[in-house]
Structure 1
Amino acid sequence: MKPQAYLLSASILVFKCSAWEHTSEQDLRRGISGHNHALVAFIHPSSAGSQILEPEWTSVAKSHRSLMSIDCSTNSMLCDEFGVISYPALRFFDGHGYTISYRGPRKASAISSFLRRAQRPTVTILDDETTASFQSIDDTVLIAHVNPRDEHIATALRAVASQFEDRASFGLVDTAGTTSVECYNNRDEQKFTLSDLTAIDAITKLTQSCIAPLIGEFTRANELDYLQSGKSLVFFFAMSSNEREAYVNKMRPVAKMYKEYLSFVTVDGDEYADFAAPLGLAAGEFPALSVQNPRVGQTFPYPSGADITPETVGAFVMDIVQGKVKPWDGQRRQDKTRAHDEL
């Protein structure tokens, strides 16, 4: 991000951050004891992540009374006591001495889902009658159908559930048949089934694949994972989260069709304004889209000014595959007219 843009954004976000209603140390200790459960945000006013979280947190607080926040700039010793090393840090306290670190999206809907999830058992014991309804209880649901002779699978499931309980719901049901594990990504309407459980990390890998969104958000934390995945990337830049969410909702069928070869990602046009130019896009001229093959260093900017729809993006990808679109030469912007002539 350019320094000027960052300073402008930061000043706006710091102003918004004034809406935080922080908890005192005394109220925090009271709130997480006595069998009370609470979700606590340890924030620092100067961190961009804390500033971005504030409106999402405020939204969740309207319907959940168990939220508290601590300002670590004025309570550094308290934050050190709870092992906070980066901001924001979200921790769920179950009132019985057990703490869960939340590592999911910093979005109101995801945080609300987490709160509901945290109040259920780490692994819910199911039967034939409850299994069907449990499949849709969360955005990501993993159910292990375990034959009693494979008790080691149930043990492995509990270990994985403890690792991912902040992002998925886990169920266990006995079966007289072959042991298998199913995972439902209900947001993207995908189902993953695992019957070969010989590998030690089989359930872990299944869970990771199932949790991963079909169209993810490109962030500082995951950018290397995407760039080193071996797949070409379809970047969609937009300034507002509403624009990016609308794109995800309409582009899922295309992303599902090409998921073996392409990773579709959304990009915050404000935070990643400086990333547009290397992709053949003009900073600030968003929404915009570009396809990149990191392995061979080829970039294909989507025609400037053209509508971004599932049909047109799908056709654009096919034209790239068929060699009908030339890679960006690093100098020119591909506009709608020129693209039409080349295709």
Structure 2
Amino acid sequence: MCLKLFVPLLALVGASRGWQHKTADQVRSAIETNDYALVAFVMPNSPRCEALDPHWANVEDAIPAAVSIDCSSHYDFCLENDVASYPAIRFIRPDGTNKPFRGTRKGSEIGNFVNRMLRPVVTRVEKTTLSSFRSSDDVVAVAHFTPEETSLRDRFAELAEKLHDRHAFGLQDAAAGPGKITCWNNAIGAMQMSTQLEAVDAMEELVKRCAAPLVPRLTRRNEVEHLNSGKSLVYFFARVEDYLEAWTEAVLALAKKYHEYMTFVTVDLNEYPTMPASFGFPNEIEDAVALQNPATGQVYPYAGEITVDAVEEFINSISDGKVEPWDGVSLLQLVEVDEQGHTQVIASQAASQAGKEAAGENKPKDEAEKVEERTEKSEEKTEKSEDTAEEKNEGGQEPVKETKKTESEDVKTHDEL
């Protein structure tokens, strides 16, 4: 299957020069003799670590205090730093500060993370600096409180301490109440503001809504949240980071149009190498699109040329009842388009075998057991989403318009499909 996008691809990542690992003593020295060190904990032959390699080369070029360590050779040192999964990236200071990086493992995201860690947790903002500060990061939250609103100030400071590795937080003195928080999502050009801040979780929920990307990347931390969101999911699978980023930009308008009913997500196949089989695709596929209804378990693999217009037509056909869900067994036919525009039908027996497994011939573990196992190994527990979309049913069709899920419903994670 060939990806065809009508937006320029981002510049390719620099060619990998291979990991330049340090010893445990060298990493300790880097931490002790610098204001900070950025450490990548790596396990050889891990597909995720190999995917990080070319990005990390650029990070080391830009950040002198960036180092990596081979945890197969220095396992005890990695255990000392509570590393349970690989790769792990940590911002470490001599005073013991040890902050994990939670974003997408690419050079620009890692660089933004370091910049956040180097500025104050809460930046004092004046009228003259507000304009520049509000555009200083992808997501910027600025609180406007009077000096007397001490409780709001304290709670905002606590929130900033918790999330400042992911977003920018500022505080501006206000002449009069009520206090308010304004949050800008510069990545998608959106803004949210609220004075309703008395509830314990009001501030965090505001920032969470503000920061939510229209086209998120599927991760181990957010997959349960998306599966329980009450919306259909439209997946774009790819192995090349530039394709994932280009698709994210290309499909933004479509994601805005359908955001009430579905979420468009991208999936890095280096992170989820066996996920395509759960959607009727061969695991070796290079790129693909599929729609999933988590409430019913139905999936709709797309077998045509990937363009935004074609995907929208595919979604509408599902909504109109013109497309049947994958039966979990039959062989899926895929259309491949070469550079000359020639098409051919390709298929793989792997899809048939994967279909049998997805249909239930091999029973997966109970969801709660699987999620618990992975959570124990994660550096941070998955935050449950409290916002669910309400059903909007038009014409009796339900493949892409979900009912609101209850806490008792069992939704399988992608490792279990």
- 1:140 and 1:184 in contact (8 A); partners too: yes
Shift, 1:282, TM fit: 4.7
- 1:301 and 1:334 in contact (8 A); partners too: no
Structure 1 residues 76 and 187: CA distance shift in structure 2, 3 A: same
Distance 2:71 2:222 in 1: 26
Deviations 1:83-119 (A, max 9, x none): 3333222221344443322222211110011111111
Structure 1 residues 24 and 282: CA distance shift in structure 2, 3 A: closer
Shift, 1:335, TM fit: 7.3
**Following superposition of structure 1 onto structure 2, how do residues 10-29 of structure 1 map, counting pairs within 5 Å?**
19-29=18-28
Give the structure 2 partner of residue 130 of structure 1.
Answer: 129
Give the structure 2 partner of residue 3 of structure 1.
Answer: none
1:40 aligns with 2:39: yes
Structure 1 residues 85 and 275: CA distance shift in structure 2, 3 A: closer
Give the structure 1 partner of residue 64 of structure 2.
Answer: 65
Distance 1:92 1:220 in 2: 21
Give the structure 2 partner of residue 10 of structure 1.
Answer: none
Structure 1 residues 335 and 90: CA distance shift in structure 2, 3 A: closer
Give the structure 2 partner of residue 278 of structure 1.
Answer: 278
SS of alignment partner, residue 115 of structure 1: helix
Give the structure 2 partner of residue 167 of structure 1.
Answer: 166
Deviations 1:268-316 (A, max 9, x none): 34554543343244544543211111102333333x233422x333343
Give the structure 2 partner of residue 5 of structure 1.
Answer: none
Query: How many equivalent pairs are there?
Result: 319
Shift, 1:244, TM fit: 1.3
Give the structure 2 partner of residue 327 of structure 1.
Answer: 325
- 1:135 and 1:141 in contact (8 A); partners too: yes
Shift, 1:74, TM fit: 2.0
Deviations 1:158-200 (A, max 9, x none): 1111111211111111112431112222222222323211211
Structure 1 residues 119 and 297: CA distance shift in structure 2, 3 A: same
- 2:289 and 2:306 in contact (8 A); partners too: no
Give the structure 2 partner of residue 8 of structure 1.
Answer: none
**Following superposition of structure 1 onto structure 2, how do residues 1-343 of structure 1 map, counting pairs within 5 Å?**
19-34=18-33, 36-177=35-176, 178-269=178-269, 272=272, 274-302=274-302, 304-309=303-308, 311-330=309-328, 331=330, 333=332
Structure 1 residues 301 and 73: CA distance shift in structure 2, 3 A: closer
Distance 1:307 1:73 in 2: 40
Shift, 1:34, TM fit: 4.7
| More off after superposition, 110-119 vs 177-186 | 177-186
Structure 1 residues 212 and 127: CA distance shift in structure 2, 3 A: same
Deviations 1:214-233 (A, max 9, x none): 21222344332222222100
- 2:48 and 2:270 in contact (8 A); partners too: no
Stretches of structure 1 lacking an aligned partner (at least 5 in a row): 1-15, 337-343
SS of alignment partner, residue 243 of structure 2: helix
Shift, 1:253, TM fit: 1.3
Deviations 1:10-61 (A, max 9, x none): xxxxxx9982212233333332235522211222224443332222111111
Structure 1 residues 281 and 72: CA distance shift in structure 2, 3 A: closer
Report the RMSD for the aligned CA atoms in angstroms.
2.6
- 1:17 and 1:45 in contact (8 A); partners too: no
- 1:35 and 1:96 in contact (8 A); partners too: no
Structure 1 residues 322 and 68: CA distance shift in structure 2, 3 A: same
| More off after superposition, 141-150 vs 283-292 | 283-292
Structure 1 residues 195 and 318: CA distance shift in structure 2, 3 A: farther
SS of alignment partner, residue 199 of structure 1: coil
SS of alignment partner, residue 86 of structure 1: coil
Shift, 1:329, TM fit: 4.3
Q: In structure 2, give the amino acid aligned to 1:191.
A: M
Deviations 1:237-267 (A, max 9, x none): 2231211111101111111222222111112
Distance 1:282 1:69 in 2: 34
Structure 1 residues 17 and 314: CA distance shift in structure 2, 3 A: closer
Distance 1:222 1:187 in 2: 19
